[in-house]
Amino acid sequence: MQIDARGVHYRDLNRMLKEAAAAGEKEFVLDNVNGQRYIGTGVNLPVNIVINGVPGNDLAAFMDGPAVTVCANAQDGVANTMNAGTVVVHGSAGDVLGYGMRGGKLYIRNNVGYRVGIHMKEYKRQVPVIIAGGTAGDFFGEYMAGGVLILLGLERRQGEPLTGDYLGTGMHGGVIYLRGPVEPYKLGKEVAVLELDDGDEKILGKYLKEYCDCFGLDYQAVREEPFVKLLPVSSRPYGRLYVY
């Protein structure tokens, strides 16, 4: 189903999507999208949605199932509290991506903004994954409680930092992989930098191959640079704050 979204209000656009999906439509192409919010929200079925244009904030918020492909940049709040499905962005995306995300995948080709992966959580087999191909702003992985965050820093200019400050601040679960070293002063006080072990290799291999396939990248070339991982020092970082 092809929809010309030019000038269509998000409420109407999303209603069309939901109704058609409920009626059995599996493939959607949305043309001329520009700023419509919440695309994919409330469509709790495994459909494919291709977005031509820049979708609005909260793309795939609370999303449960669809596969969304954005053929442009995305804005803030992508995959907010997302439960299942995939979002692939062929460009950059904004701040607060994957907030409270509890499952599914968010793959971004280029850079991401501030507070990406904040409050990400995993539970049993529900493991959310975010991979960004470029650089990230401050507070990457803030309050992270589970899931996998991977930052690649591909095609960086000379001297361009991979991450911002307060990396993993408040992190108490999950894992962050960075392609390249990290300066200790940037680390949140709740995380430590570790070498990869065999388990990590498996995880990285699994998700990165998929990511590289998505964007036509050479997996081996991406893996040539060494990765480090960040883990929380404790799942109870705030034990000694209070008098009982």
Positions touching another protein (CB under 8 A) are 10-11, 14, 18, 37-38, 41-42, 44, 57-58, 61-62, 64, 76-77, 80-81, 83, 96, 99-100, 102, 115, 118-119, 121-123, 126, 142-143, 145-146, 170, 172-173, 235-244
- Nearest-angstrom CA–CA distance, 109 and 101: 19
Min CB(215)–another protein separation in Å: 27
> Closest CB to another protein among 39 and 154?
39
Q: How many residues can be counted in the chain? A: 244
34: three-class secondary structure by DSSP: strand
First-to-last alpha carbon distance for the chain, in angstroms, is: 60
> Closest CB to another protein among 61 and 203?
61
User: What tokens does 221 get?
Assistant: 């070339």
> Closest CB to another protein among 139 and 211?
139
Contact 200, 179 (CB under 8 A): no
Give residue 126's identity as a one-letter amino acid code: Q
Min CB(13)–another protein separation in Å: 11
Greatest CA separation for the chain: 61
Min CB(88)–another protein separation in Å: 21
22: left (phi over 0), alpha (psi -120 to 50) or beta: alpha
> Closest CB to another protein among 42 and 46?
42
Min CB(154)–another protein separation in Å: 27
